[in-house]
Amino acid sequence: MSRKSRQRRAEQESRAKAAKQTSIIMELHRYAEFFTKNDIEDWRRAWQSAIDPRHPNRQKLYDIYRDAMTDSHLSGCIQQRVGFVMSRSFKLVNESGDQNEDAEHLFDQSWFKDLCRLCLESIWYGHSLIELGDVITDGDGHPAFSGVTLIPRKHVVPEKGRVVSRVGMNWETGIEFRERPWKDWLIEAGRPDDLGLLLKAALHTIPKKHAMSFWDCFAEIFGMPWRIARTSTRDPKEFKRLEDMIYNGGASQGMVSGMETEIQFVESGKGDAFNVYDKRIDRSNSEISKLVIGQTMTIEDGSSLSQSQTHLQVFMNLVESDRDMLRDIVNNQLIPLMVMHGFPVKGLRFEWDDAADYTPAQQVAYETMIADRYEVDPSYFADKYGMPVGERRIRLATSEEEQRRIESEEEKEDVKEKRRKEERKEAEKRREKWNKEQVMSRYFDVLDRLMEKHSTEELYRLLNEDEPDFFD
């Protein structure tokens, strides 16, 4: 075969290879679009079934939620938000606001932690029905629940207040869990019509799942370079040996051949596929972050300290909202049930103990700042640190800048006081000038002068021009 013939054949093979690559990529995109559309349509039907006013059914929707929770980014965001709530300290206070440390032991149990987690899950799954276990005695002799159990969500029809014994049963045949004796052992978290944030999150996990799947297919096809062998041999054995090496060769591939044999490794030119799939996955992650934690910088890369602090504040606002929701459930549902079952918690209220969440350094800075600006009851420090506290000596500046500011204000005050003293001295001098003796001496002097004057004009000039303040 001549050189021109080999070149022409190589060009044909290259064009055929490029056409095959384009065809495969188009096929991958068609499959991705097909599966994504079908999954979105399934999501829409499940949503419509869940909000059916006559026969609400959330079974298919919960299946979609289960698949969505396999997304590592979504589960990471949820764990971050839940972790911030679960790490906070709490306290039990009476009507006067006094802390009851003995009652806190009743809540410092595994069943209460499980209850809090299940209540927080209602944010993602929607309405959750939680059953309290039997009342037992813990190792210290205090009453406690044996545990808490989530009623399977597929069996609960919260809009109708029913629990069905089998999935798919008509809700009218179910148990009315808001009636006694069932309600005495049940906690409801979330509104009856609440479908949870996973309803929106699934819209981003579905295309992300397909993008990652087809990216793997693309990498399998185009990730490794194409190996092309050209040879002029007509020996079937030599041709078969070369073919086996091309298809079965691994990382230690090598060969010995004659000058007429050529092997070429052709790299894939489809580098834009990286941006297509990677950008789509990044966008899904970003939308999930904004949905679950309100921002992106606390779980993804941030660009600046000020922006990260702003994003953190947004996230903390969501955490505060979750804490308020959990506090209301404990105060309005759990504590009344505990009182009913003999727990000594009547008249107590559950509150979050923010003061206990400061680090020692933060606590010192906080107390110093407050004490430097406001009068603090000494009993606070005496009770907290177990030490007698007497009268306060002098106020200490919290920083050099604060000290300079205080000294500057004191200097200004000294200058003002000095000026006031000088003004008082001048006023005193003026008053001394017009003492009684001086006034009387001037009075007789003017009187003598009046007696010397005889005409009206002279008297007028004396009183109005020469001595205008005589009568003052």
What are the residue ranges spanned by the domains of the chain? Answer: 1-152+186-234+268-357, 434-472
53 preceded by cis ω (within 30°)? no
Q: Which residues pair with 265 in a beta bridge?
A: 227
pLDDT at 96: 87
- Determine the Cα–Cα distance for residues 9 and 11; give it in Å rounded to an integer: 5
Lookup: tokens for 5: 């013939």
Report the pLDDT value the prediction gives residue 114, as an integer from 0 to 100: 95
Buried-state track 59-89, b at ≥16 Cβ within 10 A, e below 16: ebbbebbeebbebebbebbbebbbebbeeee
Other residues' Cβ atoms within 10 Å of the Cβ of residue 352: 17
For tokens 């979105």, the residue is 40
Q: Which two tokens stand for residue 431?
A: 């008053």
Residue 188, beta-bridge partner list: 129
**CA atoms within 13 Å, Cβ hemisphere of 277:** 19
Per-residue model confidence (pLDDT) at position 397: 47
Burial profile 136-162: b = 16 or more Cβ within 10 angstroms, e = fewer:
eeeeeeeebbeebebeebbbbbbbbbb
The two tokens of residue 65 are 């939620």
Amino acid at the residue 32: A
Tokens 């970003």 found at: 286
Our measurement of the distance from residue 84's CA atom to the centroid of its chain's CA atoms, rounded to an integer in Å, reads 8
On whether the CB atoms of residues 69 and 98 are closer than 8 A, the answer is no
Q: Which amino acid is at 222?
A: F
Task: Give the integer Cα–Cα distance in Å for 468 and 455.
Answer: 18
- The answer to whether the predicted template modeling score (pTM) of the entire model surpasses 0.85 is no
How confident is the model at residue 419, as a pLDDT?
Answer: 81
Cβ atoms of residues 58 and 153 within 8 Å: yes
| The pLDDT value given to residue 51 | 92
Query: So what's the pLDDT on residue 115?
Result: 96
Q: How far apart are CA 140 and CA 228, in angstroms?
A: 77
Tokens at 439, concatenated? 């006034």
Helix then strand then coil, % of the chain, to nearest 5:
60, 10, 30
Among candidate residues 144, 145, 140, the one with its CA nearest the CA of residue 130: 145
Order the strands of the 148-150 sheet from edge to edge: 148-150, 128-132, 186-189
* Four-residue CA torsion sign, 333, 339, 343, 348: positive
pLDDT for the residue numbered 252? 47
Going residue by residue through the chain (472 aa), what tens digit of pLDDT does each one get? 555 565 566 565 555 555 555 555 555 555 555 556 778 888 999 999 999 988 899 999 999 999 999 999 999 999 989 998 998 889 999 988 888 988 999 999 999 999 999 999 999 999 999 999 999 998 888 999 999 999 999 999 999 999 998 887 888 888 999 999 999 999 999 999 999 999 999 988 988 888 777 776 666 656 566 666 666 667 777 777 777 776 666 554 555 555 455 555 555 555 556 677 778 888 888 899 889 988 665 555 555 555 656 677 788 889 999 999 999 999 999 999 999 999 999 999 999 987 655 566 666 766 776 676 667 777 777 766 666 776 665 555 455 666 677 667 777 777 778 788 888 888 777 766 656 566 666 666 766 666 665 566 666 666 666 555 555 5
Q: What is the pLDDT of residue 351?
A: 93
Q: Residue 472 class from Cβ within 10 Å (0-12 exposed, 13-18 middle, 19+ buried)?
A: exposed
- SS3 label, residue 231: strand
Per-residue tokens: 331: 């105060």
Ramachandran bin of 286, using left for φ above 0, alpha for ψ from -120 to 50, beta for the remaining angles: alpha
Q: Round to whole Å and give the CA distance between 127 and 65.
A: 13
